[in-house]
């Protein structure tokens, strides 16, 4: 039995390649043509905050990299995960309020974010702070959400470990260093002191040699110094 292969034209191959390329690009693209942030997100967050227990414990990342736009987006990613968790334990009324807030930040799921890195550390806080920071991050992103491509933000980044950074020098240490460092005049004096000692020693040796040359040795007679009268007799 002969099986006939489908006769695909070059146009069909081109369309297939375009579909594949567009599908691959969408998995790595993180941009928005229309703003997913509504104008009344602050009202929805405030309604949820008023209904919740203010001291309900949640966690926030404490060492995310301080990126102007990526940092806000990363924190919204983590906040959206908390909204999903809270919906599983909330009552019907609470679920409605949580869903309204979750709708405001659900747009982060349209981007293929990598799983949180192992270096990320979390600290416990309360739900009111989480909601307040969520509102602040939405405010920061709203002017840029349709003007920026956030593809470079798909991987959450931690701040450098403090153990790899040089320890900061305290003001006391700086002051002590300044006090112990020799001042320029003192340093110059220390450098000139050996030279002065050498010159002094050389001068003393020269003086000692001249004094020794002038002093008669034992047994030698020093000729008498002629008097003025003798000099007159010699001249005549």
The domain limits of the chain are 39-149
Question: What integer pLDDT is reported at residue 19 of this predicted model?
Answer: 47
- List of the chain residues with pLDDT < 70: 1-27, 162-192, 195, 204, 207-208, 211-236
Distances (CA, A) of 18 to 27, 91, 124: 14, 46, 47
Q: 39-149 sits in which CATH class?
A: mainly alpha
Question: What integer pLDDT is reported at residue 223 of this predicted model?
Answer: 53
With residue 60 as reference, give the H or E element that holds it: strand 57-61
């Amino acid at each position: 039995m002969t099986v006939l292969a489908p006769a695909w034209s070059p146009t069909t191959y081109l369309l297939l390649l375009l579909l594949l390329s567009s599908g691959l690009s969408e998995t790595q693209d993180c941009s928005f043509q229309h703003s997913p942030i509504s104008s009344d997100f602050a009202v929805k967050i405030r309604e949820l905050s008023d209904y919740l227990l203010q001291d309900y414990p949640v966690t926030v990342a404490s060492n995310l990299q301080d990126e102007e736009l990526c940092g806000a987006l990363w924190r919204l990613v983590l906040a959206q995960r908390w909204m999903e968790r809270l919906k599983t334990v909330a009552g019907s009324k609470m679920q409605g309020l949580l869903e309204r807030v979750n709708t405001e930040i659900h747009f982060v799921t349209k981007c293929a974010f990598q799983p949180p890195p192992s270096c990320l550390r979390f600290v416990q806080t309360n739900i009111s702070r989480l909601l307040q920071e969520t509102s602040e991050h939405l405010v920061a992103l709203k002017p840029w959400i349709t003007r920026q491509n956030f593809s470079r933000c798909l991987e959450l980044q931690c701040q450098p470990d403090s153990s790899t950074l040089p320890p900061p020098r305290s003001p006391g240490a700086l002051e002590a260093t300044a006090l112990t460092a020799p001042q320029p005049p003192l340093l110059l004096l220390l450098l000139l002191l050996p030279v002065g000692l050498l010159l002094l020693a050389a001068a003393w040796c020269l003086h000692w040699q001249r004094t020794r040359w002038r002093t008669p040795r034992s047994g030698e007679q020093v000729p008498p110094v002629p008097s003025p009268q003798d000099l007159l007799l010699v001249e005549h």
